[in-house]
Structure 1
């Protein structure tokens, strides 16, 4: 099969791209998806920052213009307007992508893309047996990939969430708990809880850690049960469980490993190293590619985050990892000493240098300076 675009992997990044192509009115391209699991893999939930209106509004599970943060100094209520914190499950996103694919005439190939061979003009996609599946002008690969080289710090954002239902009204659907650092803190890393209500009796309650390694099943269950006790909630029914792990590292990813292969999602640099947030950057990548193709250009997005943001993230990771700064106090100061919308735009990579100077000034300056000096020394040693 000869196509213009081969979309390798059919998860979140590819789904968002297909919807963006359809929304932009891109027609006439020969497109194929290649994935061994046509059902898009396992269920997941995405949370992200957005404005007062969003094209995903019809399928959002919930959105909150106010959130609570429990830091070392207690409860802080943050008004996010004009921003919102929003949550969407993968099912409706995948359904929209399937509908877009049908309108775009996408060919769905159920196979494993074991090898991509790029001669600078054509990308040949081969299966596990070495058989050619597709020849494409461009391959957009959203599968997980290892960094191009090791980083100076490597952590994970790893989590487990319970979708729960109560027999009485116990949740406030107008407000969410964004970060609750009252959880028991690990010896190396940071933990916090989320409470994301979707109604007065339903919510996603999640335990999250930023640390070098995942817990076992029993560890996540203990942490979630302890968090429910801390929240002092009545008996809840767990209707669904989800978990995952997202890399948090200053290691670089090869966004364009060859001339006509472009990586999307985490492998394409969409994951914010200091938080693990990925969804907003995946959406930006999708919109940029769709706009480029609509204008007759190449399907290559811009960088997911400015280089100065990646440097700041690397310094923050180093400070947490070396114990120079406690992450709960770091995030509390960031949110309480800056307008919340500035912090949210920073986390999405959308702030100006002047705003970033104000953000840096709100963090513990001496230990962060030590972390920056250590990061610089490590970079120089790596190059030598």
Structure 2
């Protein structure tokens, strides 16, 4: 039996969160850093797409497949064209991020352990990562664990963001490449939840068309494909003239349950397991990118690789109230989002969803929501917290 690898830092899991950390490490001067990655699979190719907003000119810009300065938000009553300046909406496909992470991994001389990790044990001075048989794989000063896990404390409201997307290709112009559809609420709405479609064009002949629900449970059978066919018709797309090149599926937790980002002094959790998923929407990417940047900067400064909180505590409370209001039927989901965009500049709404708005902006956003239903939801949330 070989001795475990001894390093300064180990990444447990090699998906999107770990790839963002590697990309961030590649931007810093880290002489002598000993690094290991433990994952049974090396991520390659196009297995997922991230869409996010922010200011142009970031280090991720060279990796983007597309970006848009305008987006549509559509309801049965009207279509809004929202100018996002100074922000922009952007699409990052997985392949260029995985390639960049692999290049940084090689440049840093990282050790790749292609085995499943089981326990991550902090003994007070080092962290030991073992395989399912209990064999030590890596000993490290710090561990960054991005493997999915359940909340440390179950939520009072537990929904899912679940979706299917088709990458559609046409021989003729079929899409508007200069403008994305952020949310189109003309889709049939579920009895309990909210649904929407969206269109992210890479060119006038290639786009991601997706159907998404925020609701308590995933759909059965071919319901996603049926919903996508219906949304394509609503959008005026001729599926007979389009080819489905790729299919993407996903399920992301939307819960006010509490994830433990620091289960022990030398173990830090990333991604959804570290609280990076926004409870009210399921959006995750921007918070993961912030976590990665924090970690790299802390290491470069000679400090422990501990990122800041992904969202302010007040945003977690606001999300819990919103989830409760939707779950108990106190507000209509389409009306709620329509009202937010109607009464606020789009960049304020998007920065709120990213967790970067100020106290005063949050108060303005709360004042623009349906006050009586949201007050009832806040009171119910307070009573549930007291009972717990």
* TM-score tier after normalising by the smaller chain length: over 0.9
Aligned residue among 317, 335, 343 for 2:349: 343
- Gap runs ≥5 in structure 2: none
| Aligned counterpart, 1:131 | 135
Question: What corresponds to 1:144 in structure 2?
Answer: 148
Alignment partner, residue 55 of structure 2: 51
Structure 2 Cα separation of the partners of residues 333 and 28 of structure 1: 53
- CA shift for structure 1 position 26: 1.9
- 1:316 counterpart = 2:284: no
User: How many residues in Structure 1 have an aligned counterpart in Structure 2?
Assistant: 382
CA deviations 1:313-335 (Å, max 9, x no partner) are: 00000000000011111111111
Partner of 1:272: 278
The residue number in structure 1 matching 2:72 is 68
Name which of 94, 99, 107 aligns with 1:103.
107
Distance 1:144 1:330, change over 3 A: same
Residue 91 and residue 42 in structure 1: after superposition, are their counterparts in 2 closer, same or farther (change >3 A)?
A: closer
Counterpart of 2:297 in structure 1 is 291
Question: What does the per-residue CA deviation read over 1:230-263, in whole Å, with 9 as the maximum and x for residues that have no partner?
Answer: 1121221100001100000000001111111110
- Aligned counterpart, 2:229: 225
- 1:120 deviates by 1.3
* Other structure's SS at 1:23 match: coil
User: Within the alignment, does 1:328 sit opposite 2:338 as a pair?
Assistant: no
- Distance between the aligned counterparts of 1:366 and 1:229, measured in 2? 37
Structure 1: state its 5+ residue gaps.
none
Matched, 1:17 2:34: no
TM-score for both structures, normalised by structure 2: 0.97
Corresponding residue number in structure 2 for 1:34: 38
Distance, in Å, in 1 between the alignment partners of 2:18 and 2:205 is 33
Q: Aligned partners of 1:46 and 1:32: how far apart in 2?
A: 25
Match of 1:195 in 2: 199
Residues 217, 103 of structure 1: CA spacing in aligned structure 2 closer, same or farther, 3 A cutoff?
farther
Between the aligned partners of 1:335 and 1:55, the Cα distance in structure 2 is 29
Q: Does 1:119 align with 2:96?
A: no
Q: Deviations over 1:50-88 (max 9, x none)?
A: 113222222211101101111243111111011001001
1:103-141 CA distances to partner (integer Å, 9 max, x unpaired)? Answer: 111111101111111111111111111111111111100
Question: For the residues of structure 2 that align with 1:212 and 1:187, how far apart are their CA atoms?
Answer: 11
Structure 1 CA distance, aligned partners of 2:45 and 2:278? 23
Provide runs of 4+ in structure 1 moved above 4 Å.
none
How many Å separate the matches in 1 of 2:235 and 2:9? Answer: 49
8 Å CA contact 1:72, 1:328 repeated in 2: no
Distance 1:331 1:20, change over 3 A: same
Paired with 2:45 and 2:117, the residues of 1 have a C-alpha distance of: 15
SS of equivalent residue, structure 2 residue 218: coil
Asked whether the 8 Å contact 1:334–1:362 carries over to 2, the reply is yes
Q: By how many angstroms is 1:352 displaced? A: 0.7
Counterpart of 2:219?
215
- C-alpha distance in 2, partners of 1:53/1:26? 24
2:173 corresponds to: 169
Aligned-pair distance for 1:337? 0.8
In structure 1, C-alpha distance between the alignment counterparts of 2:161 and 2:260, rounded to whole Å = 21
TM-score for the superposition, normalised by structure 1: 0.98
Closer/same/farther in 2, CA of residues 243 and 276 from structure 1, 3 Å limit: same
2:120 match: secondary structure: strand
